[in-house]
Every structure is written in C-alpha cells, then in structure tokens.
Amino acid sequence: MSACAVQPWVSPSVSLSLVKRGEETPGPQARLRPLTGACLRSRGVSEVSHWRALLRVQASRPSAVRCGGSATRGRTDCPSLCTEQEKDPKYWRDQAQQTLKNALGLQKLNTKVAKNVILFLGDGMGVSTVTAARILKGQLHHNPGEETRLEMDKFPFVALSKTYNTNAQVPDSAGTATAYLCGVKANEGTVGVSAATQRSQCNTTQGNEVTSILRWAKDAGKAVGIMITTRVNHATTSAVYVLSSDGTGYVIMGGGRKYMYPKNKTDVEYEVDEKARGTRLDGLDLVDIWRSFKPRHKHSHFVWNRTELLALDPYTVDYLLGLFEPGDMQYELNRNNITDPSLSEMVEVAIKILKKNPRGFFLLVEGGRIDHGHHEGKAKQALHEAVEMDRAIGKAGTMTSLEDTLTVVTADHSHVFTFGGYTPRGNSIFGLAPMVSDTDKKPFTAILYGNGPGYKVVGGERENVSMVDYAHNNYQAQSAVPLRHETHGGEDVAVFAKGPMAHLLHGVHEQNYIPHVMAYAACIGANLDHCAWASSAGSLAPGALLLPLTLLPLSVLF
C-alpha cells in the first residue's frame, strides 16, 4: 500500500485537526491513515484541501458511517463516504417513489403559449461534461458531489440531439449553430446558410440563406437578447446576425471589443496592450453604428465593465451593448470581479430589460468557454464554466415562470473528454484514480482526453502526474493522442426543457428540430394556425393552444 493509502471510509469522529496532525482515529471500526508529507506533495494542495473540507463537513454529520464492504480494485486514495440513510434500502425506494409521483404529475401537459423563450447553449457541453460539472458543483459546497443536482437536472423533460453536420460525422460549431438556431442542418464551416452552400465558395451562398429563430421572434414583436462568454462575433452568434441589418439584439453582451473598432484604436481598459487594440481594416466604429440604428426616442447604452452594467436602471434601458473584454471574456476562474460581470449577472440584467416587452422575449445565452477549456485540455477551466452557466440557469428560473416561459438547455456538440478509473464516492473530480496503471505502473487522473495537448512523454515514458500540480487551474489533462488542440466529440448531446410545450423535446431528435419546437411553443415563425389570437390585430393571448396535442407537420412550419 502506498504512502498515501487510506481506508475507503472514515468515522464521523474524524476531525480536521486529526488530519493535519497525521494522527490515527481511535475506534474499533474506523481508522484514517495519516496524510503524510509525501502524500501531500503527490496529491496537490487543492485536492488535499478538498478532502480536508469534506472530512470537516462529514465529521459534523452523525449519520456518516462506513459504506459496507472492503476496499476494491486497489482503492488507496481517499475515503468514500455515504450517510446512514443511504445504507437503508427504504431511502432509495422512497426516493424512487417520489420521483415516480413527480413523473406522473407531468401527464398534465403544459400546452400554453410560451410568451418567453430562453435557450442556454453550453458550447461543447457533452454528457460527460454535465456529469463532471454536477460533481464539481457539489464539491464546491463541500459535499461528495455525485448526489448533487444541477439546475438543468431539475428540468422535467430530456431528449438527445444528433449533432452531425451534413458533411461531417463530428461537427463544428458553425454548422451546428445553423441547426439549433435556424432549423436546418448545414455543412461544417458555414453559418446561416443551407447545405447547398459549400465552405469557402462564396458563389454558392446567394439564395441559400436561412434566418434564425431570433429573427422570427423579433418579427413577432418580441424583445431579443444575446449573452455569450466568448466574443460576440463567435460562431453561435454569427448564425443570429446573418441577414439582420440592425444588429438584431435589444441586449447584446459578451467580449470582442477590438473587433468593433478601427485598427490600432487603443482599448479603453488595456491602454498599453497592443493586442487589445482595434482590428478593423475598414475603419468602421461598429459601436457608433450600433447606436445610429436605434430610435432617437429610445435609451441606448454601451457599457464595458461590470460597474457600469450593474449601475444601470434596467427599467430605463431600451437597448444595451456590453463588451467586457477585447477578445473572449476571461475564464470564470480568472475573472476580475470588478471589471468583468459573471454570466449570471449578465442574465439577470438582460431579463430585467427584456421582460418589459408586453409580447415577451427570446434570450440566447451561451457558455462559450466550456468549449475553449476543453480544446486547451484544461478540464478545470471548462467545468467551472459549466457550473457558472448552471448558476445562470438558476437565476433565470427565479425571474421567470413555468406558466409562460419555455427554457431549453443544450449543447452544440461534445468533446473527447471523459472521467473514470473506478474512483470512490466523493473523489475530487480533478483527483487521481485510486490505482496505478497496470502497464506503466504510474498514477493517472480520473479526467482524461482522447486527444489534445495533454499528451506528454518524459524520458520515453508517460509523464508521472504525481510529479506535477494536477489540481492547477490550467493543468492540461493527459490525452491518448497528441494534438495542439483537443477535438470535438461526435456523440449525441442532451436537451433539457421546461415550460410550455417542453414535452415536445422527448426522444432522440435531429439537432435542427430544436428551434422548430421553440417556435411552435412561442407562436412565432411562418405557421401560426395552431395559436390562439386575442384580436384581429394579431396580438398573442398567452393561454392554451387551439391544437395542444396535435402537431402540424413540421415541414410546413418554415
């Protein structure tokens, strides 16, 4: 047994002081071996801190007991914890019966018109990322993590989305954006156009343009908002701006200042940083142009920092453009809490502004840097981005109603990200697997990538992760194949839905089905025959659909 070995369970009497002193816990049924200096060095400070905090919380819980059985598969890392109630089969049976009762309650479908629609898009948030983010969320609250519920986990309807592009088995973010925003599948590398358009062949574009659901919403008189943690001219938002002459959004927030200003214009925040200067070769100031498109009797605001954003009175703002970084916004772990707002804060301000519209709103929120973290092999950055997006989902939920707001959470694609290795309950999501490789006799982290920049060979062998700080924010998890940038994954991604007509997202669907459901629920787009109308003027009356259980053929919707 290694110097770091501990029994896979702890007594409720284990205290932080005992762990610090390296003393053994007395008692006939529980003993914690000391975390020695060698163990501390090999495990990384952050992971040890996680365990100390977890042990402290568990020590305060009288119900914490050994979760029966001896150590298996060479588990030597850290204690696996369960509660007394989890030991009792009645706990699990009662939990299942309550879940069944809740599911039966869903038989009464919500077929009202969705006055508001919110689409949360986790860029690159595959199922493995969702699961790992769930565990991280719990561990950030000093719990084991696996039992935690994300906000999206609470949504009653879940489906799977097939993400392939028309010419690609594993998709890119441009073609997928066209699918889940414009309702048609497209080729990789193209955005806002049908599959009849070929990448890099501009003469195939004309006549093949398609519009997005944000345009459909705006044409129906709804307010429109776009939040993104990358730059606002990223792939997802590009599908929105296509064919929109006035910038589309009532509210637009994200990064990307330097792309809005003439080349070499000094940035308002990073005055001495040449890389932050304007990049436009056409000499245009797009912020001024954005202002010029707004009606003079309306109140338009441009903000570039968190202080300005939070100082706004949302009830006096008609249009808002917020650009908080020259390029992409900072990772949540690196964010300056004074100058840069969180995604949750942006969502809160946006909803306060948009909900003033009596006809409702459509809000697109993208956690774009989940994708960046994975491409860089930095799982810790990616997962903290996912947790922050989940906070934003929760914030939106407190500000809206299930009666009139359809909320959908999904991803454009997955990544070749995984975690495994028979880790025990409560193992730090960024920690080591409880065994060494039976081939090269070296330890490995639970999180790994199929390919990417984490592939490292030292002395002709796989790098020994115990010699590096694998708990560092920018640690690049090991990968099987060396690549400068990790790639997307091709498996289906989850779709979570709640609110009016959410039950229409229910099985395995093509990705382009998603905007058709949202449009049907909100009574926007080309086909409005199924909607209830309040008057001949055409104003929507939020209420039951005339044909609540009979979907018209989707082929005639758009």
Tokens representing 11 are: 């007594």
Task: Give 197 or 335, the one with higher predicted confidence.
Answer: 335
Q: What CA–CA distance (Å, rounded) separates 368 from 504?
A: 26
Q: Is 128 a catalytic residue?
A: no
Tokens representing 178 are: 């066209």
Under 8 Å between Cβ of 325 and 368: no
Tokens representing 163 are: 């993400």
pLDDT at 104: 86
H/E element, 239: helix 235-241
**Beta carbons within 10 angstroms of residue 37's beta carbon:** 10
The contacts of residue 332 (CB under 8 Å, 6+ apart) are 342, 343, 369, 381, 384, 385, 387, 388
Q: Mean pLDDT, to the nearest integer, of 77-86?
A: 65
Tokens representing 380 are: 């810790």
Residue 412, annotated as binding a ligand = yes
The contacts of residue 505 (CB under 8 Å, 6+ apart) are 157, 158, 159, 408, 495, 497, 514, 517
Work out the pLDDT band at 196, boundaries 50, 70, 90. confident
Residue 375, annotated as binding a ligand = yes
Work out the pLDDT band at 207, boundaries 50, 70, 90. confident
Please tell me the number of Cα atoms within 13 Å of 250 on its side-chain side: 30
Distances (CA, A) of 419 to 98, 132, 297, 416: 30, 8, 54, 10
Res. 424: pLDDT tops 90: yes
Distances (CA, A) of 305 to 79, 243, 263, 310, 386: 44, 29, 22, 9, 22
**For 223-256, what is each residue's pLDDT tens digit?**
999 999 999 987 666 656 544 444 445 899 999 9
Residue 488, annotated as binding a ligand = yes
Angle between helices 173-182 and 513-522 (to 10 degrees): 30
Give the chain's radius of gyration (CA, Å). Answer: 25
Task: Give 194 or 368, the one with higher predicted confidence.
Answer: 368
Residue 410, annotated as binding a ligand = no
pLDDT at 33: 34
Q: From the candidates 15, 128, 161, 173, which is the catalytic residue?
A: 173
Tokens representing 340 are: 């840069």
Residue 282, annotated as binding a ligand = no
Q: What CA–CA distance (Å, rounded) separates 5 from 42?
A: 12
**For 442-451, what is each residue's pLDDT tens digit?**
999 999 999 9
Res. 2: pLDDT tops 70: no
> Per-domain residue ranges for the chain?
114-416+496-528, 432-482
Res. 127: pLDDT tops 60: yes
Please tell me the number of Cα atoms within 13 Å of 322 on its side-chain side: 32
Q: Is 480 helix (H, G, I), strand (E, B) or coil?
A: strand
Q: Quote the pTM value.
A: 0.83
Res. 285: pLDDT tops 70: yes
Q: Rounded to a whole number, what is the distance in angstroms from the first to the last CA of the chain?
A: 65
Residue 366, annotated as binding a ligand = yes
Tokens representing 276 are: 């932050």
Residue 236, annotated as binding a ligand = yes
Distances (CA, A) of 496 to 116, 122, 157, 334: 16, 12, 6, 29
Res. 273: pLDDT tops 80: yes
Counting beta carbons within 10 angstroms of the beta carbon of residue 162, is it exposed (0 to 12), middle (13 to 18) or buried (19 or more)?
Answer: middle
Under 8 Å between Cβ of 378 and 447: no
What is the β-pairing status of strands 116-122 and 405-411? parallel
Q: Which CATH number fits domain 114-416+496-528: 2.60.40.10, 3.40.720.10, 3.40.50.620, 3.40.50.720?
A: 3.40.720.10
